[in-house]
Amino acid sequence: MFIVSTYTAAIIMSIVTMLCWGSWANTQKLAEKSWRFELFYWDYVIGIVLMALVFAFTLGSNGTAGRSFLTDLNQADWQNIGNAFLGGVIFNAANILVVAAIAIAGMSVAFPIGIGIALVLGVLINYLALPQGNAFWLFSGVALVTLAIVFDAFAYRKKAIQVQKVPAKGILLSVIGGILMAMFYRFVASSMITNFEQPQAGLLTPYTAVVIFAIGILISNVLFNTILMKKPVEGEAVSYRDYFSGALKEHLTGVLGGVIWCVGMSFSIIAAGKAGFAISYGLGQGATLIAALWGVFIWKEFKGSQGTHGLITAMFICFVIGLAMIVYAGM
């Protein structure tokens, strides 16, 4: 299987993760005018599963190091399979809430709050489970990211007051989704090998772990998204008939979103072999910055808001410095 051999390569892959995790939601923004997010989400999940399988049978099945995908799957302990699967279930619950929050409150709000909380708690959880990297620089970086989230919250509060509308539901969904999002990665990480060159028996390679994780998302989606379709957080109920009546362009947009996200997840897990789970996860969740950039400069979510530019600028500065500290923590 393909493995990362240097810390620099691991950081580059983690940055790609950040770009992917911060950008996939643009596909939802593109589809939302004609396609409800509950329907979009089915295709998004399909995209995740397809991309996980592509990686498993290509990068995960070639090379001289580690174990190939099918060989690894055949030797895996059920407990480790269960942990990766549970990680998918938890992620799916969290992600549905965050996607719902995006639909209500916008990317520049839902991502900094939800994924920002996931970054802070997730780095802490993963570092305590498997300490790797300089704790001072790592948590100093996380502290700056937390400050950036506060700046974003104040900026949005100014905007909300000006338009006389405060979507408390969107903020609440972001918070709950962020807390759950902080937990999923540790379950996937606990199922995985720690020595990528000489994999331990019973544990999963990164590629197998992501496939099982994706299956957990798919199966849990039958329950979670069906409930959401019948009792949506916003708007009227939708049905499976609505899903199958969608145009090919709408379906492909959702699949593309899932593919982009899964590329990020796979790269993050692969990079953890050299960077460690806390640093790899922390950098990936810098997606908050990327999503905020999309929300502010492309989707113009703060257009016309008075007095928010300084807060938004401070948010970006804190994010950039904080992410640089997280990278330095592993050097």
pLDDT tens digits along 42-98? 999 999 999 999 999 999 999 888 899 999 999 999 999 999 999 999 999 998 888
Residue 314 lies in a domain: no
Residue 319 lies in a domain: no
Q: Please spell the DSSP secondary structure of 198-225, one letter per residue.
A: SPPTTSBPHHHHHHHHHHHHHHHHHHHH
| pLDDT-wise least confident of 105-109, 224-228, 259-263 | 105-109
Domain range for residue 250?
A: 7-139+166-299
pLDDT tens digits along 3-27? 998 999 999 999 999 999 889 888 9
Residue 152 lies in a domain: no
Q: What are phi and psi of 204, to 5 degrees?
A: -100, 145
pLDDT reading at 292 higher than 80: no
- What is the structure's pLDDT at 166? 47
- What is the structure's pLDDT at 162? 56
Residue 210 lies in a domain: yes
Contact by Cβ (8 Å): 84, 187: yes
Residue 146 lies in a domain: no
Q: Please spell the DSSP secondary structure of 88-144, one letter per residue.
A: HHHHHHHHHHHHHHHHHH-HHHHIIIIIHHHHHHHHHHHHHHS--S-HHHHHHHHHH
Using CA atoms, how far apart are residues 190 and 77, in angstroms rounded to an integer? 12
Residue 307 lies in a domain: no
Using CA atoms, how far apart are residues 165 and 280, in angstroms rounded to an integer? 37
Residue 261 lies in a domain: yes
Mean pLDDT of the chain: 88
pLDDT tens digits along 107-159? 666 767 787 788 789 999 999 998 989 999 999 998 998 888 778 767 766 76
Q: What are phi and psi of 127, to 5 degrees?
A: -70, -40
Residue 109 lies in a domain: yes
Contact by Cβ (8 Å): 151, 311: yes
| pLDDT-wise least confident of 39-48, 210-219, 275-284 | 275-284
- Flag whether the pTM goes above 0.85: yes
Count of domains in the chain? 1
pLDDT tens digits along 305-325? 677 788 888 988 998 899 899
Contact by Cβ (8 Å): 27, 253: yes
pLDDT band at 164 (very low <50, low <70, confident <90, very high): very low
